[in-house]
Chain A
């Protein structure tokens, strides 16, 4: 079945550092790919999405590009802030099926 593998955390960065969180997937068809973020004590929020190969999703300075050839959807941000500290989940979805999530990566940004 479909699956998502993302880098294990925790990841600790200093403010203004560059962030990359790796995500690769396995799917039988042509999924859409998503990054969700979970801030402490809150639910999951959609951060960005991409629905087809070579699409780039972006939001709040975060970006991820749908790479079909490498089956990847790595999350990047050029300059992280303390307020970006959260758990980040990579996920995929085919059609109207439930989301398949990676295990999540905890990011801590220190001032």
Chain B
């Protein structure tokens, strides 16, 4: 058990809809990262938050947004969904002490767009 909790585990919706994925980091971790895993693109970094502030942005579409709340949980919002958004979405967290620390991953949310 990594200590990172993601909900829901599975999500099935239709094109054009909007969904929210939720992540609770490990206790004490201030950084949260979101990744997308698809068959053709592999693991792609989307966005990072540190203690409520956006820290880094990767290949995140404009239709996607995220935020980190005062209790450090994070949400990833995906809107105007397209078939190509079907993927596994992972959240990871890491602590603030020391650089080059590993990230700990949740079990992911599998998003299926019909």
> Which A residues are within 8 Å of any B CB, using their own CB?
31-32, 34, 36, 42-46, 49, 51, 89, 93-101, 103-104
| B85 contacts partner chain A, Cβ-Cβ < 8 Å | no
| B2 contacts partner chain A, Cβ-Cβ < 8 Å | yes
Determine whether the beta carbon of A99 is less than 8 Å from that of B100. Answer: no
**Chain A residues in 8 Å Cβ range of B99:** 94-96
- The docked-state distance in angstroms from the alpha carbon of A99 to that of B44 is 10
Given A31-B100, A101-B42, list of 5 further CB < 8 A pairs? A32-B101, A93-B101, A93-B102, A96-B31, A96-B99
Whole-angstrom distance from the CB of A68 to the nearest CB of chain B?
Answer: 14
Query: Given A32-B100, A98-B33, does the pair A45, B2 have CB atoms closer than 8 Å?
Result: yes
Whole-angstrom distance from the CB of B35 to the nearest CB of chain A?
Answer: 8
Determine whether the beta carbon of A34 is less than 8 Å from that of B102. Answer: yes
Other-chain residue from A98, A101, A104 in contact with B56 (beta carbon distance below 8 A): A98
Whole-angstrom distance from the CB of A7 to the nearest CB of chain B?
Answer: 14
- The docked-state distance in angstroms from the alpha carbon of A45 to that of B108 is 12
Query: Given A43-B90, A101-B42, does the pair A95, B100 have CB atoms closer than 8 Å?
Result: yes
Whole-angstrom distance from the CB of A56 to the nearest CB of chain B?
Answer: 16
Residue of B nearest to A96 (CB): B99
- The docked-state distance in angstroms from the alpha carbon of A37 to that of B106 is 13
Interface of chain B residues 34 through 71 with chain A (CB within 8 A): 42-43, 45, 48, 50, 55-56, 58
Whole-angstrom distance from the CB of A90 to the nearest CB of chain B?
Answer: 11
Which of B43, B50, B107 is the most central at the interface, judged by chain A CB atoms within 10 Å of its CB?
B43
